[in-house]
Amino acid sequence: MLRKRAEAPTPLDGVDVLLADLDGVVYAGPDAIPHAVDALEGAAARGVRVGYITNNASRSDAVVAEHLAGFGLTVRPEDVVTSPQAAMRLLRAQLPEGALVLVVGGEGLVTEVERAGFRITRVAADRPDAVVQGFFPDVSWRELAEASFALARDANGDGIPWIATNTDWTIPVAGGIAPGNGTLVSAVHTAVGILPQVAGKPETPIFEEAVRRFSASKPLFLGDRLDTDVLGARRAGIPSAHVLTGIDRAKQLLSAVPDQRPDFLLEDLRQLSEPYPATVVKRDETIVGSARVGIRDGRVEVRAEGERRIDLLRAACAAIWGSGLPIYALDVPERLYTAR
């Protein structure tokens, strides 16, 4: 009697908490990404808790939860971890309750500073105990100047803590890609000559806050950017799944540096609960499912396309990453850049 081959495990097996980025993973612009809502609700139905992590400091957790619920997701404010919340984790470790904080940012940041028990000012003349800076589209030169005045060092080089919610250089908006909080933080940095502590991705405080809040023992992070999502998860010691529905696609994955390589690579979130074939290396070939890729004399060779485009991309990534060679030293077929 022939024994049926056991199916490969899925990325979701053994996971107790899914931590999902938002833009590029759950939604793109005003619309939910196809299959994302069903996949996340399906994971929750299997007993996996789903949390959401965002670097966006302009919206409170309640506003984010309402936005996600509008797509049909079952989500409460406490299921959302924001970079201002992670910033408060850093601030509480350095200041007593009731300390005065100069805030550069909007409602999302103000809400968390007040929740944490700190007093708020907008002017350096009040002699604040710290500065917290987060993105808000109406942040003005005057507010950046007040932050700079407050952060000025004394004759001994001493100053007050400066915490940035995140340092994303860009932010996607309806009109295209616009300057993000990192750009505004850089303006203050140029004026004062110091760097802030950073709470959001790719730094670890936001991941630590999420793990603590959800009591996660086997978390999996879902992201669409290598330089913030995957890098941050790796720094925090959390496995990551990169989904090809957002910013970084095949080209960026093929050339990913070691600390920005995800544990799982998904075409969309349906594949969270689908079998995930193992990567097998035989002689000079890397095999995923029925896709086969080899490297010979500096040329990346597609030896079998396979049944699924994602398997071909996975095999190509594994072959290139395992070669130890930078992408610019290899001749890569153009079709691999569009494998997704």
Express each pLDDT in 266-302 by its tens digit.
999 999 999 999 999 998 999 999 999 999 999 999 9
Tell which residue, 184, 216, 208, 172, has the closest CA to residue 22: 172
Q: Tokens standing for 149?
A: 């005045």
What's the rounded Cα separation, in Å, for the pair 21 and 27? 10
pLDDT tens profile 150-161? 999 988 889 999
Residues in the chain: 340
Please tell me the predicted confidence (pLDDT) of residue 6.
60
pLDDT at 317: 98
Interstrand relation of 119-121 and 100-104 (parallel, antiparallel or unpaired): parallel
Residue 175 has a pLDDT of 80
Q: Which domains does the chain show, CATH number per domain? A: 17-55+203-273 (3.40.50.1000), 84-198 (3.40.50.1000), 279-338 (no CATH)
According to the model, what pLDDT value does residue 187 have? 97
pLDDT in tens, 195-226: 999 999 999 999 999 999 999 999 999 999 99
- Single pTM value for the model: 0.92
Peptide bond before residue 202 is cis, with ω within 30 degrees of 0:
yes
110 CB neighbour count, 10 Å cutoff: 19
User: Angle at which helices 83-92 and 205-214 pack, to 10 degrees?
Assistant: 90
Give the Cβ contact number of residue 74 at 10 Å: 13
Low-confidence stretches of the chain (pLDDT < 70) are: 1-6, 339-340
- Give me the pLDDT at residue 1, please: 44
pLDDT recorded at residue 339: 62
Residues tagged active-site: 21, 23
Give helix 141-151 / helix 181-192 axis angle, nearest 10°: 40
Question: For residue 227, what is the DSSP state?
Answer: I
* Number of Cα atoms under 13 Å in the Cβ half of residue 219: 24
Torsion angle, alpha carbons of 86, 89, 94, 98, to 10: 100
**137 Cβ contact partners less than 8 Å away, ≥ 6 residues apart:** 58, 106
